[in-house]
């Protein structure tokens, strides 16, 4: 290679851009998952039969379907949705970034809902009863007393979920998202295959670094929200 320095610089820039895309896709998907999982978990625990059933279907579908398939449905599949009603011209055309975030985010919401639900159930019923006996309404008690505590209990589960979404993010290359793995392949390509592990190993290390960073952030969050002396409701 004529200029090793230049190659390294260009590669670093490429991988850097890819890492940024990976981070944004991961964070956006986790957030979407979170925002959806809160009502889903509450609805599934406290809602009436029809609501519980619907949420169960939703969770089952997105937990049971391979994430790549979900991704395809949102990006490619929805463009064919008109054919179902005999109107092929009708398409739901979602561009790559929203499609990726929707697919990963909605899938994550199904898993996060499960995490929140089990945390909610770990909170003793008397917490809710005590809140109601003070005169709090049903939803006030659920949200401000039960769910708040459930969130804190959910932090380990969420730490794990963040890792899973991060490791899922490379599949978005299939819908033209230039995330880190795509960039790595691009570099290998540009170097005519002269480098391979020299690229993949640093990239793996960066994924690992992101994993460590994510864990650290959740650890800090856990520390900040810690309730003195309290682990899990013992009763």
Spatial separation of the C-alpha atoms in residues 123 and 145, rounded to whole Å: 10
Q: Which residue has the tokens 């994924």?
A: 207
Size of the site for another protein (CB under 8 A): 69
Spatial separation of the C-alpha atoms in residues 146 and 135, rounded to whole Å: 15
Binders in 84-103 for another protein, by CB under 8 A: 91, 93-98, 101
For residue 64, the minimal CB distance to another protein (Å) is 25
Token pair in block for residue 111: 């898993």
Q: Which is nearer to another protein, 167 or 194 (CB)?
A: 194
Q: Which is nearer to another protein, 66 or 95 (CB)?
A: 95
174 binds another protein (CB under 8 A): yes
Binders in 30-69 for another protein, by CB under 8 A: 31-32, 34-35
Q: Which is nearer to another protein, 53 or 90 (CB)?
A: 90
Q: Quick one: which of 52, 65, 127, 215 contacts another protein (CB under 8 A)?
A: 127
DSSP 105-148: HHHHHHHHHHHHHHHHHHS-HHHHHHHHHTT--HHHHIIIIIIH
Residues 205-234 as x/- pattern, contact with another protein by CB under 8 A = ----------------x---x-xxxx--x-
Q: Closest Cα to residue 223, out of 164, 159, 162?
A: 159
Q: Closest Cα to residue 100, out of 29, 37, 33, 31?
A: 29
């Amino acid at each position: 290679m004529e200029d090793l320095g230049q190659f390294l610089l260009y590669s670093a820039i490429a991988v850097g851009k890819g890492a940024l895309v990976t981070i944004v896709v991961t964070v956006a998907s986790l957030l979407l998952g979170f925002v959806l999982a809160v009502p889903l978990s509450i609805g599934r625990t406290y809602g009436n039969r029809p609501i519980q059933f619907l949420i169960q279907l939703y969770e089952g579908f997105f937990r049971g379907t391979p994430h790549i398939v979900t991704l395809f449905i949102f990006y490619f599949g929805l463009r064919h949705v008109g054919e179902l009603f005999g109107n092929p011209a009708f398409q739901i055309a979602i561009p790559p970034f929203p499609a990726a975030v929707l697919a990963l985010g909605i899938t994550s919401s199904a898993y996060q809902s499960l995490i929140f639900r089990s945390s909610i159930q770990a909170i003793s019923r008397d917490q809710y009863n005590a809140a109601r006996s003070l005169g709090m309404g049903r939803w006030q008690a659920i949200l401000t007393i039960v769910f708040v505590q459930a969130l804190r209990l959910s932090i380990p589960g969420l730490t794990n979920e963040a890792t899973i979404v991060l490791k899922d993010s490379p599949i978005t290359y299939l819908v033209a998202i230039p995330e880190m793995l795509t960039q790595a392949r691009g570099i290998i390509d540009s170097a005519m295959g002269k480098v391979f592990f020299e690229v993949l190993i640093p990239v793996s290390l960066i994924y690992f670094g992101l994993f460590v960073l994510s864990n650290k952030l959740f650890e800090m969050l856990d520390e900040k929200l810690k309730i003195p002396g309290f682990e899990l409701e013992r009763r």
